[in-house]
Structures are given as structure tokens and as C-alpha cells.
Structure 1
Amino acid sequence: MWLVAAGLGVAAHASPIAQTKGDFVDKFRQLEGEDWPTPTDYRNAAGAPGHRYWQQKVDYRITARLDEPSRTISGSETITYHNNSPDQLRYLWLLLDQNYKRDHIAQRAETVSPGGQISMTEVRQAMRYKEWEGGFNNLKVTDASGRPLKFTVVDTLLRIDLASPLNSGAATTVKIEFTLPMPEARVVGGRSGYECFTKADQDGNCIFLAAQWFPRAAVYSDYEGWHNKAFVGSGEFTLEFGDYDVSITVPSDHVVSATGVLANPEILTAAQRARLAQARTAKEPVYIVTPAEALAAEKGKPSGTKTWRFTASNVRDFAFASSRKFVWDAMGVKQNDPQVPLVMAMSFYPKEARPLWDAYSTKAIAHTIDVYGEFAFTYPYPTAQSINGPVGGMEYPMMTFNGPRPVKDKKTGQLTYTERAKYGLIGVVIHEIGHSWFPMIVNSDERQWTWMDEGLNSFLEFEAERRWDPKFPRARGEPRDIVEYMVSRDQVPLMTNSESVLQFGNNGYAKPATALVILRETILGRELFDFAFKEYARRWRFKRPTPYDFFRTMEEASGVDLDWFWRGWFYSTDHVDISLDKVVKARLDTRNPEVEKAWGRDKAKAEPTPLTIARNTQVPVIDRDPATRDFYDETDRFTVTAKDRKDYDGLKKKLEPEEAAVLGFKDNFYHFSFRNIGGLVMPVILKLDYEDGSSETIRIPAEVWRYNARAVTWQHVTPKVLKAAEVDPLWETADADRSNNAYPRRIEPAVLKLRDDPTGDNRMADSELEVTPDSTKTRPIKKDEKKDEKKDEK
């Protein structure tokens, strides 16, 4: 816990409120001043950058060479570090995230299952590490004049000791030389590397994906100082913005995709430049490098090298991809933004990715730019790229690596794709391109708070997928799909550090995405949520927010106190389970004995006859001997007496007209008893079905739980007669147990499945249609050409 004195960056916190008597739990206790850092001149109480906000700027000029035979990158970089902080810096910390030495921290900290089993992938990885060691080698660090600077490598970190302190407002330049052996991504793993097509039926060429491939400056921030936590494997890369000028030398027949814009377009043929110009206004993707050109490069023999040069402004990282196998298509995406009116959406992929990538990759980029631009801000960069390779999905400025491919039939060699692969590609492109907004521009700290980029991005991915296809088969965001995780013992709070999360996908992606869907649809409503979310994105565009900046902005811009929501969804492992335990139908006592005693008699008649009476078949004494009967046998407690009538007549004379009207109120009072079993307070969405066939849904705000977070009784008044009631009828709150939502209780339907063999879902391969690698069009085929129904899915 820390306290920040205004403008000084010193820290402390008030102690939480202690409960010493009773068992009251205040789920609505304010987080401000207790769990959240005190506002400063750098980050104000409204959740916006303060008037003294600052962040560093780091510029890079890099020359790099890809040596294909050794699969190694060698590079030389000049880093210009601008110290915009109020502090003097005596050293700089840089990141070496791909420092895959045999003894690096992620490797040494890796755990295995105690079950006595091991996968083939794990065996291959162990074998590879015996013969191969990655990591940064041949490091040489000098100042601008070439004088050596002392440096220290600490696992995945590099500290450079400056010759003299770097004062506030000043800049310094350091030069670094290095080599980096690239890992084989499908064996060693990681977020980049190479893939070679070495099977007998393929061509033996490679795709190279380069990321985290050069020493990059670590963040120095107002809230943490140096962000020098080693890369253990999960927490990703928070970085500083800057300008890049990068020259990459590759084999002459390679096509290169990279962050930024191509500064030497003359490296392309005249025909390719003409196609690129045509693509700017095309309504469909245009091939820049055609499939025929890519195939010719694969079959040809490389001679010499070419240098591709890219420049990028105000980006926080730089990645590139290189291969002679690349087909390249592109199309322009128009934006209503005078600064960037047109974005070039581009895809790079080998023939093995066709026809799937031709059909969907670039169009998915364009769709993402439209949807995310609506929810946050228009895309600020000139290009957005999707590259197929061995990395399943990873994001960098203007660059994404995406994995899904079609499947080759073992007998025919025909390429088809499963429904899973189709939607997997569309979904991963949306997700990775979406990271351009979070965290490539809204620059959150991924190494600490996974949900700030993965969760917010998964939420927008969910919205984009729904707009692509209302029945898009994805689960991250739909409330009903997070239930299993919400009740899991593996759940940890969303505010847990990235490296300590037990179920990374559910915690970092699915739960925060679902929380934001619920916040938008159920709690704030779309109008308030969309305004506040866009305000957060606008405020922190090209800046570095913390979770508290997000929480404060959403509350300040929406005008709704959401501390209870953040506490439940982000700070706890409570789940939603609201039970409707009882419904009582009541009415006002009219005080009229004719009415009330008749009601009492009807109620008594409706009660079952006690078993002890029903089994006594003998004739009772009062029936055998009439002399034993008297007044009390001829009347009952529901008989209206003369005194009852007299008392009622006297009461009516005493009542004021307004009081008499109250006694004449005939509406029904329904009392609903709710129990919060899961612990997470939420609004109660209550659907009421009446005997006249009508229905209504009432949204009871979460504040209904403020006095008692465990059980409450709520009242509804209506002239109608209630037939049934149900909590959360549209499954919008992630309620974990729906069996206690309905009143009266329902019999839950279920199907008991036998153990079966799962079947593939490649309906394209199973159909009587042929999809050729050179076209996304289909043609009927003869019955004797029908493919074997058993398909091989990667």
C-alpha cells in the first residue's frame, strides 16, 4: 500500500476499515483512499493524466541482417534516450526478453506435471536445448563517441551504466551491437522464431518472425520507477514510445513485412508498386506479391541480398517478418480522420495458408479497424498487417503474427479448412489487430496487469465478432460461458500479477471481457458505458494508464459509483449466484370482517387434512350424540359476529377519507426473498409472468444489497396475479446456478451422453466441393472423386 503526496510521488495508504463487532460486510465500501493510490499531479482523481504527467521517449536507428543458413539476426542499434522525468538517471535498463539461455529464469522456473507423463513437444524442446542455445550474444555497448560503457546482464535484463548522470530534460545516446540466434518456434516456443517446411511433400523454405529481437529500453514511470521485472514467460512487454528507422538485409528473393512504412519502395518491382497503388482504393484485397510470384521464388535460387528500410513514428516496438514464401495482399480502409484518412490493411502468408487467408485475413483487419475505431479512436498508423507463421497469435505496432491454416488432405493433397480454422483465423486477426489499441497505443503495463490489455481487447474482440456474425462461435465475453471458471478453485483476482495467474486465458482474457460486457449491457447501459470507455481511450492514447486510471475514468465519465463492481469482479474471487428462495403474495388488511374472515376460511380450506384426522374412520362423538353439540360446534373462528360488524362500522366513522382510501387499495404486494450465495453483489434482473399472459422484467440495482450482502427481501406491487418469476432470464449476469433462479422451481432438463469418439468438423472437406489453392471459388466434383471422410486437422 502506498500514499502519494500531491506532486511529489511519495507514497502511503489509509488502513482499511476494521470490523470488530457483528458480521456486516460492506460490499459498497469505497476503494478511493483505501485500496487505490492517492491522486497526484501526474495522475489526477478523475482518472486522467495530471497537469505534470510525463513519460520517456526512446528513438532507435537499427541496421540488421538475417542470415538464413544459420537462422541468426545480427544487428547494430543506436538508441537516443530522452529523459522527460523529473529525476536524474545514472543508468538505463533495457529488456532482453528473448535471452533464451539454458539457465534463464523462465527455463529454470518451469514446472512439470507430477503424473509421470511428458509430451512429445516437451521432449523435442529438451533435445533442442542440448544442442542449441539462444539469447543475445556478442554484446558490445558504447556511447555516441564509441567509448565502451559498462553493462551488466541480469537474466532477461541489461543495465547500462552511463558515463555521467542523465539529467531531467536531457538526452543521451548509446550504441549496441548484438547477435541473436532465432528459435524454432514450434519446438522451443516463444512469441517469434522461424518455421521451415521440411516435409517431403513441401518445399524446405522458411518463414522468419522477428520480435523482441533487439535490446529495447525498459519503462521508467512515475508510479514505479524502472520496470525491471524479468520476463518469466507470461507477463508481456510494456515499453516506451519513440521513432524508428530500421534497415533489414535479407536474401534477395525474400519479401519483408515490418512495423511502419516501406521507405524504399523501389525495392519492389514496377508491377508490384502499381498493384500497391491500386489496392489503396480497391473494394477487395489486391495481390501485391501474387501466388505465382511467391511460388517462383520458392522454386528459384537466391542470389545475394537486398536491404528493406522501414520508418515508424511514435510506436513502442518494432517487429518484422521475412520469407520468400510470402504471398502479399492489401486493400485500403477509409477512416473519418483527416490525420489518417486511409489505412493499408495487408496480409502476408505462404501458399499453405491458402485459400483461408485469401478470403478472410485482410477483410478481418478492415473490420477490426472499423469496430475498434468506433469504440475507442480511429487507427492512427498508416498500415495494419497480419502475417501467417508458426506463432499462433501475437501483436506488435502495425504487425500481428497469426497461425491458423487450412488442412491438407492426406490422400488428395487438397487444401480445405474446418469451421474452427475459419473462425479461429477471423477471431485471432481481430484480437491481434485489436491490440493495436490496447496496449500498443493505450500503453498499459502488461507485465503487471494482463487484463488491462488482454481483457479490454477481448471485450472489443467480442463486440467485433458479434458484428461479423451474430452467431460467431466464440466464448470470451458471453456471461454464461465464464461460469465454470467463476466457481473454480483455480480462480485468482484479476488484479493478480501476470506471472501468478493460474488459468491465464480465463483470468486475463475471458473474465475481464465478460465483466465489461456485463458493465455495458446490464449495469451502465450502452450509452453511458460507450461514452466512458471512449473517454478512457481518448485520455490515455499514447500514454501509460494504470488500473486505477481506468476505474476512475469509467466512474467519473459515466457518473455512476462502481466501486462495488470493481471490488467484486477485479479484487475478489466471488461468483454470481443469486437464489430466489421465496415469493409471498400479500394484500392490505381491509379491516372488513366479512372480507377478512371469508379469506381466512378459504385459506384454511385450502390446507391439506392432517394425516391423523384422515386415518380416523370412526364416527366422532359430536356426530353420534347431538346433545354434545353447542354454539361453538355450529360456528368457527371465521364466523362474523355482531360485535365484528359494530367495530367495523365504528372504525369507518373514525377514518379520514385518505385513510379509508388506503384500506380500499386492492393491488397485490409481492415479497421476493433473494439470497446471495456466490458472494458477488450484482443487479437482480427479475422477470415476472402473470396469469393474464403478460410479462414484465424489472431491473433491481445492485444497491439492493447495501444493507445486507447475503439476503434481502424486495417488494413489488401490482394489480396482476403473479404466475411465475425468474432471476436473470437472459443469462446476462454469469449466474452460476440457474436451478435456483426460477420460482416455482423447475425440473432441469439434461442429457446423459455415452463416451464417444469426437468427430472432425471439416464440413468443407466432407462436402462434394473442391477448393483449389489458387482460388477461393468452389466447383462440384463427381461422386467417384468424393474425398475420404476422415480428415486431418492441424
Structure 2
Amino acid sequence: MIRVKTLMSLVAGAGLLLSGSIAQADESIGSGARAFKQLEEILPSPNVYRDASGAPGPNYWQQEADYKIKVRLDEQNRRIIGAETITYTNNAPTSLRYLWVQLDQNKFNNGSISRRTETASKRDGKDSLSFSALRREQSHEERPYGAEIKAVKDARGNDLKYTIVDTMMRIDLPAPLKTGGQTVFSIDWEHNIIQEASIGGRGGYEWFEENDTYIYFLAQWFPRMAAFTDYTGWQHKQFLGQGEFTLEFGDYDVEITVPSDHIVSSTGVLTNPGAVLTKTQRDRLKQAEKSDKPIYIVTPEEALENEQDKETDLKTWKFSAENVRDFAWSSSRKYIWDAMAHHQEGGKYDTVMAMSFFPNEADPVWSLYSTQAVVHTMDVYSKYSFPYPYPVAQSVNTWAGGGMEYPMITFNGYRPVLDKETGQKTYSRRTKYGLIGVVIHEIGHIYFPMVVNSDERRWTWMDEGLNTFLEYLAEVEWEENFPAFGNKTNLLDSITDYMTSANQVPIMTQSDSVISFGPNAYTKPASALTVLRETVMGREQFDYAFKEYARRWKFKRPTPADFFRTMEDASGVDLDWFWRAWFYTNDHVDIGITDVRSYTVSTQDPEVEFPQDRAQKAKDQPEPLQQSRNREAGIKTRLQRVPALKDMYNDNDEFTVTNKDRNEFNSFLDGLKPWQKRVYEKAMADKNFIYFVDFKNIGGVPSPLPVTLHFEDGSSEDMLIPAEIWRFNSMNVTKMIIRDKKIASVELDRHHQTADADFGNNHFPQQISQSRIKLYKSDRKRKDLMADMLVKLKDRAKAEAKGDDKEVPLTPAN
């Protein structure tokens, strides 16, 4: 412990300034101003459409597109035949001479930009070809894909001129569509349905080879209006696969004709149940509307019977959906169907039907968890945003992994496996929690972006990141220690490896240019929001602001600026520094404690201080080794041999109090102003311990400092230092802490609440890390190349068991 010799100095008008080694700002001084620079120069200027608070402006507008669609599933040829009529309303303050329509199926055309820009893969730095990649190429050779436009006509049946540009189609209008005007036109089209496992996509069909049955899950299946917005005009960036969709709200009436033994799940409400469901099925649905647990509408036994019959007669299912931005559906004779009621307050619908559709291959895990997870998602998401706005919410089991979302319907993976020894189906821990997690995630997407309609083609994080954040809240409320992130239950611990890697781009990167898509678009923005809620803003302020954002932009189209501004506007917290660091840079959080110095306030009374200074010097400067060894050897000093050399300085050291020292102390006391004397007397009475703690920002992101003080008496204290401490110097800061008892150690972020990438520098004094090490037997045998190869094969087998694809052997051609 160091004692301060000088109590105070009057500097620039007087104040208590403790002397000592206080860290000085290095050459980066002033960088705090850059880190806390406001975002006005980056964000678009507020206007009549989007105001400075982050709310829709007084002249906010968006387009409307209403659809009437008739579609037939040609199961024999695995093909879609459709006809649609679109009523397009121009609410923009400008006339439109042409319209843009999305043809997403064209992505799978061999001539598309997406296909022509696919890159080859490498493995361990060498050229690699997987069976999946080769199968994809073979599938493209076997049958053509892409939208086949048969006709584009106006309301009177006249042909409209159109031009196809990759995944977009421009329709030239015979006369400009004025503000407030409507135009009605029709499109007839067909396309082959992709086999999702071969081609890879968000919709398609799944083939069950053992009994030649199919599940069809149709998404991006019809020509859809591209969005026309106030911030970008026509949003017609080509669909390359990664950046999803930007769409307009509208009403849908859809007729879906399928084989008569199929069960159809769809966006919207079934309007002709009497024509497609049996009386027993309708009665079960009525029962499910009042049930607090799932009830089978189609039982597993009935689904198995449907699989065996394979009827060729057709039925038409009719669905109606209001104010949705998209439409998807799924059809199969394999489907089990269960349903239960979700009751809510304050929404348009007091009762929402939660439903699941899945084959027998998905049981027992789907019967146990799918529909319950649908209801749980609505419970949690509605609490943080708004009541679920539609009459149904559905989870449909399609391919074996992954998930995808659409209004009122989601496609979700995960199935149990067959135990070859017992012949029974069993599911792993990963399958159970994977299913619950994916259902929460995809049903959550019905809120974001299916209702809060962000632009996925530009900013994937605005739906995936926000939704992953809410998914994490819902998973924690499902059960404690929910294994959402492998062996890490804390979202923030899962992102640090990515944030310290070179393989990243800023969150604000356009969707199709994002590398490491999962961490960039999902977990990093979700981690940022978690840090905001739990550490920067606090739950009360964050939850209020986030709910205000959801309320403002429900059924509207927000941009990042609207989100950033709303979160600040509703909370009263300046977050520009946070958005800049987390969303516009590749910096990461790594704060280290570099030094802690301990002081007590000096009395400046030489009678008190000098004896302590003498003792401190003896402690800090031990006797020279040469001197002690000379004494042990019997060597006498000259002073011992010649006593006449002794004078007053030999009897008194530099810590002997003199009258001069006493006079200086009395003069110091006499010179204190009344308020300074009161400060001095309180300091002498308190006898507090004063600590100077140095923090270094290694990662670049300014961060709040959740500090834990561990005291010598065994107690501890948590304190949170706001991130604004970095505003003058974003690299190095020193915090003074005064306590009435001794601190034994200082710890930073012990609850892992900031996404700190390195906890090795979060303690002072530094701790020795504890872990375990395995013993292994040394092998003195000669190197066995065949054994090495077997090890590699085993490692490869383990990787394949985890889902990694096998690799096709490649031989150099002559």
C-alpha cells in the first residue's frame, strides 16, 4: 500500500487532487471523441416520410398489392401450374411508368446470376467436391428450373409488354400509374418444383424413397410484386440466395388444387372446410379451439392410411389472408395434424389457432414439442412487441434441418432417428432442443419481419438479428440452461471467436456480401441487443423502447436508422457510440485491468507520517545483500572501527521529525479555507482506502465496465461503470474508487455480460487459470502410415455423423 504524502493542491480553482502515479493519456488522446461521434453523418436525413425520432413521418406511405391466385399441384410431374390476378395500388407521391415483379424461381435457372457465380469449394486448402455439390449439378442437368411465363395481360385481357432481367420482371404500363391509382393485371405461369435436398432452397419437395411419398413445401412459388419504397425506389436487387425478400402488404384469396388425400397447411384461414375436411376432422378442430393442449385433427394412424392409398382425384382448398406480405403453403398425404388454442388479450384475435403438420417420421418429438413451442413463442414475443396479429400460427415439418418463415406458416426441420438395435425411433438432446429452438425462431419471424416489415434484401440483421435476440429470451423462458448455443448457454460467450476473427465484415454490410452469415446476421446483432438490454440500458428502458419500435413499425417498413433513432428516442439514452462500434466496425470487446494502486489519505502530520514512511521504506527497500553478508562474515565498517566519524546524521535518518517539518504542517493547516478544512477533517475521520484502477480498451469497442470488488473480509460488491467513461480517451482510462475497507482483488465482467473476448486480463491481481489435463500413453512404435490413415478416416466419419458432407475423390486428369 502506498501512502500519499501531499494531501491536496489548489488547481484551477481548488479541488482534492491525490498525488501518485496516475495513468496519463497516451498518443490516442482524443480518440474518445471519435468513438462517441454522433451518427448524423452516416444516417439518412429525417424527412416527411421518416422523422428524427425514428417514427413514421406525417407523409409516410407504402404500396399495396392484392392477389387472387389459382394454383394446381401436378404431383406426377412435380410441377406448379398457376394463374394470378394482382391489384396494385400506388400510394407513392410519384407516377409509375412500369412495375417490377420478383421471379424468385429464376434463381435456379442455369443462366441466372446466382448459378453463374457459384464458386468451387476447398477443403484443407485443396480443391474439393462433395456428393451434394455433384448431385446439385446433376439435378440441374436432368430438368430445367425457373418461372415459365405463359401470359401477362391487363384487366381487359390485352397483352402487356414485359422484360425478364434474371430474377426480376419489368412490366411496362400503357399509361403511367398516378398517385392514388390502381392497376389490375394477370400473370399465368408454370415451373418445375425443385427437390430441396438436391438443389438447395427455401421451398421445394422432399422425397421419401422407401415408400415413394412426398412432402411439398411451396415458397417463393408465385410472381410477387417487388417493393417500391421511399428510401430506395424499386427494391429490385437480384435474388442471389442469401438476401431474402422485401415485399408489400396485401390481401390474398388463394385456391390450391392438390390430390384429394393430401392435407394442406397454408398462410391464411381455410374458407371451405366442408369441401376438404371430413366431419370428424371439423369436429376435432372445434374441440381444439377450446383446448389447452394439442389435439389431433389427423391422427398418426390416419396419416399412414393416406400414405398407402395415394389417390389421384383432386380437391381444391381455399384460403383467405388479410394484410400479409407473402403467401406460402405445404401439401402432403403424409401429414399428421394437431392443433390447440392460444388465448391472448389486446389483439385483433382473442384466440389464435396454433397448429403443426408433420409426417410419422417426425414423431414422437413433434407431437411433444412443436405446437407447444408455437404457443410459447406467441406468449413471449407478444410480451416484448405486440399481440400476435393473425388468426393462425403453424409449424410444418419439411426437410431434415433448418427452417423458414412466412405469414402464419413456418417450415421447420429436425426428426428422430431409427435405432437399428431396438427398431424404435429415438431422438437426441440436439434434436429436441433444435426443434424447440427452430420453431421459436421461425414463428418469431412472423413478428419480425412478416409484420415489422424490414428490408431483408439489404439488411439481414434487421430480421435475423432482432429475431435471434427475442428467440434467446424465449428459450431462457422455456427452461433454464437451454442449450441454444451448443455447450455454451450464454449467447455472449458464443460470439467472441467470430468477433476476434479476420473473417468478418460489419453488421451493416448488404446481405449478399456478408461472409460468415450466421454469426454476422444472427448472433452478433443478437449479442449486441443483449448487451444493450442487460448492461448498457437496463431492462426497463430497453424493453420500453423496443416495444415502441415494434408498435411504431407494425405493418410498416423500418430501416436501420428508424430502429437506432427509436431506441434512443424512447429511452433517453445516447447510443450513437454503440451503433457505431457494434454495427459499423469489426472491432470487438476486450477490456483489460492493467493496474490497481492503493492509497490512504496522508495526514501530513510528520509525527504520524514519518514513522509510517520509515516502515514503508524498509518494506520496499530490503537490506542490500552485500551488507548482510558482510555482517555475517564479520567484516566491520569504518564507522564501527573509527567511532569519531559519527555525527548527528548517524543518529537521525530522513524520517526524523524536525521543527521545520512541524512548522510546515501547522502552516498547511492554518492555510486551509473553511470548506477545505471540513474535507480534511472528514477524510481523517473516515480513514478510507482509495484505489486507482487502470482499464485498457484492447478490442476497440467502448464498453460499460461491470466491476466486482472482492474485499479482504470475504465480501464483494458489484458496480457498473457506464461506457461514457471512454468519451475522452477510448483506449485508456483510470477510475478512482473509495471504500472503507481493503480490496483484495478487482474483477471485470464476472457475469459475462459484455461479450468480452478475453477473460485472462479481467482480474487484478491476475489469476492462475485452472483446468484439467489428460494423461496419455506414449507410443514408441515406428510411425505407421496405414494407422494414420485409419485415424483420418475415423475423424472424417465423425464429421459426417455430425452432418458434414462426404467428399468425392478427385484424380488429376492426364
TM-score, scaled relative to structure 1: 0.91
SS at match of 1:116: strand
Q: Is residue 2:118 matched to residue 1:101?
A: no
Amino acid at match of 1:725: V
Q: Is residue 2:658 matched to residue 1:641?
A: yes
Contact 2:36 2:727 in 1 (8 A): no
1:770 corresponds to: none
1:271 corresponds to: 280
SS at match of 2:543: helix
Task: Please point out which of 54, 61, 75 is paired with 2:68.
Answer: 61
Q: CA RMSD in A?
A: 2.2
Contact 1:330 1:362 in 2 (8 A): yes
Contact 1:591 1:663 in 2 (8 A): no
1:213 corresponds to: 221
CA separation of 1:36 and 1:465: change in aligned 2, threshold 3 A? same
2:333 corresponds to: 324
Q: 1:123-160 CA deviation, whole Å, 9 max, x = no partner?
A: 11111111122110143111111111111111111111
Task: Please point out which of 450, 455, 462 is paired with 2:472.
Answer: 462
Contact 1:344 1:384 in 2 (8 A): yes
1:84 corresponds to: 91
Q: Is residue 2:607 matched to residue 1:594?
A: yes
Q: How does 1:276-295 map to 2 (within 5 A)?
A: 276-295=285-304
1:492 corresponds to: 505
Q: How does 1:38-437 map to 2 (within 5 A)?
A: 38-99=45-106, 100-114=108-122, 115-199=126-210, 203-266=211-274, 267-337=276-346, 339-390=348-399, 392-437=402-447
Deviates more, 1:62-71 or 1:694-703: 694-703
2:568 corresponds to: 555
SS at match of 1:59: strand
Q: 1:526-548 CA deviation, whole Å, 9 max, x = no partner?
A: 10000000000000000000000
Cα shift at 1:491: 1.8
Q: How does 1:628-777 map to 2 (within 5 A)?
A: 628-656=645-673, 658-664=675-681, 665=683, 666-752=687-773
Cα shift at 1:312: 0.2
Contact 2:394 2:409 in 1 (8 A): yes
Deviates more, 1:105-114 or 1:499-508: 105-114
CA separation of 1:659 and 1:760: change in aligned 2, threshold 3 A? farther
Contact 1:96 1:215 in 2 (8 A): yes
SS at match of 1:98: helix
Amino acid at match of 2:239: F
SS at match of 1:715: strand
SS at match of 2:690: strand
Amino acid at match of 1:494: I
Q: 1:536-582 CA deviation, whole Å, 9 max, x = no partner?
A: 00000000000000000000000111000100111111111111111
CA separation of 1:352 and 1:21: change in aligned 2, threshold 3 A? closer
CA separation of 1:792 and 1:638: change in aligned 2, threshold 3 A? closer
Contact 2:262 2:333 in 1 (8 A): yes
CA separation of 1:497 and 1:752: change in aligned 2, threshold 3 A? farther
SS at match of 2:597: strand
Q: What's the % identity of the aligned pairs? A: 52
d(CA) in 2 for partners of 1:137 and 1:98? Answer: 9
Cα shift at 1:646: 3.7
d(CA) in 2 for partners of 1:695 and 1:237? Answer: 51
d(CA) in 2 for partners of 1:619 and 1:440? Answer: 93
Contact 2:310 2:333 in 1 (8 A): no
Cα shift at 1:759: 13
d(CA) in 2 for partners of 1:714 and 1:362? Answer: 52
d(CA) in 2 for partners of 1:292 and 1:659? Answer: 88
Amino acid at match of 1:469: E
Contact 1:407 1:793 in 2 (8 A): no
Cα shift at 1:410: 2.6
Amino acid at match of 1:415: K
Task: Please point out which of 603, 611, 621 is paired with 2:616.
Answer: 603
CA separation of 1:613 and 1:394: change in aligned 2, threshold 3 A? farther
Contact 1:589 1:663 in 2 (8 A): no
Q: 1:428-462 CA deviation, whole Å, 9 max, x = no partner?
A: 00000000010000000001101100000000000
Gaps of 5+ in 1: 1-19, 762-790
CA separation of 1:657 and 1:85: change in aligned 2, threshold 3 A? closer
Contact 2:296 2:336 in 1 (8 A): yes
2:808 corresponds to: none
Cα shift at 1:662: 3.0
d(CA) in 2 for partners of 1:753 and 1:142? Answer: 73
d(CA) in 1 for partners of 2:739 and 2:402? Answer: 56
Contact 2:294 2:371 in 1 (8 A): yes
d(CA) in 1 for partners of 2:46 and 2:206? Answer: 48
Cα shift at 1:594: 1.5
1:784 corresponds to: none
Contact 1:407 1:792 in 2 (8 A): no
d(CA) in 1 for partners of 2:254 and 2:652? Answer: 103
SS at match of 2:348: coil
CA separation of 1:709 and 1:301: change in aligned 2, threshold 3 A? closer
d(CA) in 2 for partners of 1:90 and 1:663? Answer: 80
CA separation of 1:338 and 1:648: change in aligned 2, threshold 3 A? closer
CA separation of 1:631 and 1:545: change in aligned 2, threshold 3 A? same
Contact 2:297 2:339 in 1 (8 A): yes
TM-score, scaled relative to structure 2: 0.89
Aligned length: 744
Deviates more, 1:639-648 or 1:173-182: 639-648
Q: 1:69-104 CA deviation, whole Å, 9 max, x = no partner?
A: 110011000011000101110111011112111121
Q: 1:700-737 CA deviation, whole Å, 9 max, x = no partner?
A: 11111111111011111122111110111111101111
CA separation of 1:632 and 1:82: change in aligned 2, threshold 3 A? same
Q: How does 1:770-789 map to 2 (within 5 A)?
A: none
Task: Please point out which of 452, 455, 460 is paired with 1:450.
Answer: 460
Contact 1:27 1:681 in 2 (8 A): no
d(CA) in 2 for partners of 1:281 and 1:225? Answer: 46
CA separation of 1:658 and 1:32: change in aligned 2, threshold 3 A? closer
Contact 1:443 1:542 in 2 (8 A): yes
Task: Please point out which of 500, 522, 533 is paired with 1:509.
Answer: 522
Q: Is residue 2:644 matched to residue 1:627?
A: yes
Q: 1:183-224 CA deviation, whole Å, 9 max, x = no partner?
A: 11011100011011103xxx2100000000000000000010
Amino acid at match of 1:326: Y
Cα shift at 1:622: 2.6
CA separation of 1:241 and 1:644: change in aligned 2, threshold 3 A? same
Cα shift at 1:23: 6.2
d(CA) in 2 for partners of 1:251 and 1:651? Answer: 100
Amino acid at match of 1:670: Y
Deviates more, 1:686-695 or 1:451-460: 686-695
SS at match of 1:682: coil
Cα shift at 1:339: 1.9
